[in-house]
Structure 1
Amino acid sequence: MKLFNSALGRNITYVHPAFFIISGFSGIPNIQQYYVFLFFVYVVSVLGNTVVMAVIFLDHNLRTPKYIAVFNLAFVDLLGNTVLVPKVLDIFLFNHPFISYNDCLTFFFFCYTCLCMQSLNLVALSYDRLIAIIFPLHYQVKVTHRFMFSMIIFFWVFVIITVLISVGLLTRLSFCNSVVINSYFCDHGQIYRLACNDYFPSYFISFLYPIIILWLPLGFILISYLCICYTLVKVATVKEGLKAFKTCVGHLSLVAIYFFPLLITFTLMEKIHPNARIINLSLTSVFPPMLNPIVYVLQTQEIKDSVKKLLKIKCKSKITVQN
């Protein structure tokens, strides 16, 4: 960050606080029960995503481009909830609202990186389904392991660079008055609004983020499924169309789980109470990582078959050892 600041302004001194105070859940009645619920969500998320990653890793039949993206999504979900939920519980349940300046920026970096990667990972899965259904004969050529790895690596690099730019811009803000962040984590918007110098670059980034991370991915996904539906109506029978579309149900469920709560929350943000907004935003952060593995296990036949196969192998090995 010193290099970043020196490149943009050599002789400027910025006032950085020793710590911030996170006060998002303060004053909400019966909030202790919500913390218990968050802990339950976190445990289910860890178990579910770990199972999905383990099944894909252990079953060689699932090492396809599609499941490379599914594995990455499970990893991002696991990392995101592990970064967010334990820290939130530590801050509010164990009454440690003070967070150092550098720790707050680090917290912000990992939370936003995981949030952005969840969205772009759904784009990768959408592209996989688009090619598989519209160009089935060319799928093996167009969607290779190398291509999927390259796409996911590109998304990671893009997101990390984008979020690092946001962190760098935050380090160029001076905080002269309040250090109280009215959110459940080190939220970008809540941080830059506390600054006492010009925060327009951070404001511009906050305006750009929803377009790049929310609207463009959602637009691509919706267009891809319109193309899929058009293709199925034109070239497939009803039975074939339903069978092909069934392979998209899991992905569509993930899209709905991730995007709809965010869209509803941001659309109604100005009309709801600040406490309700914080609760809604926290739920939209922790719920998709918990539900994603459940949806994929229940709605994807390959994973269900793989889980059954692995369980049978484990049972047979136990019987063999006992005999």
Structure 2
Amino acid sequence: MSSLNASFSQNISIVHPEYFFILGLSGIPYSNYYYIFLFMIYFITVIGNSIVLFIIALDRSLHSPRYIGVFNLALADIGETNALIPNMMKTLLFDSQYISYNACLVNMFFVFLFSSMQSLTLVVLAYDRLIAICLPLRYHVIVNNSNMCFVFSAIWVFNSVIVASMVSLITQISFCKSNVVLSYFCDHGPVYRLACNDNYVNKIMGFLYSTLYLIAPMLVIGLSYLGIFFVVRKIRTWEGRIKALKTCVSHLLLVAIYFLPIFFTYLTSLLLYSTPNSRVISTSLAYAVPAMLNPIIYVLNTAEIKYIIRKAIRNRSVPIDRTSK
């Protein structure tokens, strides 16, 4: 009975602020120029990924396992961009630094959900390349449209549960010290560090998220390409090796653009001295820029998409003879 009363009193003592102040973007020099740059990133990201989604959805020749992955990546890119950049632009343009408690949790959920989808989509695309090169005769048996749709459906459900659990744990901590978040959005780490009660579980959850969606994907992708390179080495001709590796160029660029900026940003913040403004700018760009570059990479490095775009442009440029009956 005493333990029940203690638990009840502990729940009563939980304090949730009415709003948070997002102060990571305050004091950034030349903030107007950064706002314009963010607007360009947002515009290019939404338009570019929407074009990729539109092309893959309408062209039946692209209804294949690989492009199901590309479709999912473009969808995650648009989602993360809409969850992240508009709030940053609102803060810079209107100097509106506050966000309600519930809106903060919603913002945290969607940013981390779409970011985790980007990470695991790159893992699935690495698996696709591994099977295509190492087991080409069994590729269409192992990797097909139904299997790929099942995998991505499972990933969406898994990520939603993990991120929802991480966000729900925030509701179990009390904010009686401060409501100032030193980040550019409602980031999980800066928010739970404001707790004045035990935040050990939230700390563990943050470590689990980093392991699941940053460390583990990099290891899996690295092992996948290690296997690919071992198989490619056995190909006798240089032409065959180059042909096999060319199918991996787009994916390798996506992996490098997504993981390397995040890795080096956090590495330099730990090992080198950097000002808060420089950390905020570098971290925000590390998350925003890859979503902008992904559709550009796939359009420029994928022959099928370039052919469809050229075909559409040619069809639009052909004059219509309105006199013919």
Q: TM-score range by the shorter chain?
A: over 0.9
Question: CA shift at 1:285, angstroms?
Answer: 1.2
What is the one-letter code of the residue matched to 1:131? I
Which runs of 5 or more residues in structure 2 are unaligned? 1-6
Residue aligning to 1:181: 181
> Once the two structures are superposed, what CA deviation does each residue of 1:116-141 show, in whole Å capped at 9, x if it has no partner?
11000001111111111111111110
Distance 2:98 2:323 in 1: 54
| Residue 287 of structure 1, aligned match among 261, 286, 289 | 289
Q: Determine whether 1:34 maps to 2:31.
A: no
Distance 1:217 1:189 in 2: 20
Distance 2:69 2:155 in 1: 11
Question: CA shift at 1:112, angstroms?
Answer: 0.5
Residue aligning to 2:156: 156
Distance 1:158 1:310 in 2: 38
1:174 is paired with a residue whose SS is: coil
Question: CA shift at 1:235, angstroms?
Answer: 3.0
Contact map agreement 2:46 2:78 (CA 8 A) in 1: yes
> Once the two structures are superposed, what CA deviation does each residue of 1:92-146 show, in whole Å capped at 9, x if it has no partner?
3212111110000000000011111100000111111111111111111000111
2:20 is paired with a residue whose SS is: strand
| Residue 302 of structure 1, aligned match among 297, 301, 304 | 304
Distance 2:194 2:109 in 1: 18
> Once the two structures are superposed, what CA deviation does each residue of 1:56-79 show, in whole Å capped at 9, x if it has no partner?
112110010100010010011011
Residue aligning to 1:224: 224
Distance 1:142 1:322 in 2: 53
Residue aligning to 1:319: 320
Question: CA shift at 1:168, angstroms?
Answer: 1.0
What is the one-letter code of the residue matched to 2:250? G
> Once the two structures are superposed, what CA deviation does each residue of 1:17-76 show, in whole Å capped at 9, x if it has no partner?
000010111112112211110001000101110111111112110010100010010011
Distance 1:150 1:44 in 2: 30
Residue aligning to 2:142: 142
Distance 1:322 1:279 in 2: 59
Question: CA shift at 1:307, angstroms?
Answer: 1.3
The answer to which of 49-58 and 265-274 deviates more is: 265-274
Residue aligning to 2:258: 258
Q: Determine whether 1:206 maps to 2:198.
A: no
The TM-score normalised by the length of structure 2 is 0.93
Sort the Cα spacing of 1:243 and 1:16 in 2 relative to 1 into closer, same or farther, 3 A: same
Sort the Cα spacing of 1:135 and 1:101 in 2 relative to 1 into closer, same or farther, 3 A: same
What is the one-letter code of the residue matched to 1:309? K
Q: Determine whether 1:97 maps to 2:66.
A: no
Distance 1:64 1:187 in 2: 36
What is the one-letter code of the residue matched to 1:298? L
1:311 is paired with a residue whose SS is: helix
Sort the Cα spacing of 1:268 and 1:177 in 2 relative to 1 into closer, same or farther, 3 A: same
1:215 is paired with a residue whose SS is: helix
The number of residues matched between the two structures is 314
What is the one-letter code of the residue matched to 1:201? V
| Aligned-residue identity in percent | 45
1:235 is paired with a residue whose SS is: coil
Distance 1:314 1:24 in 2: 47
Structural RMSD (CA): 1.4
The TM-score normalised by the length of structure 1 is 0.94
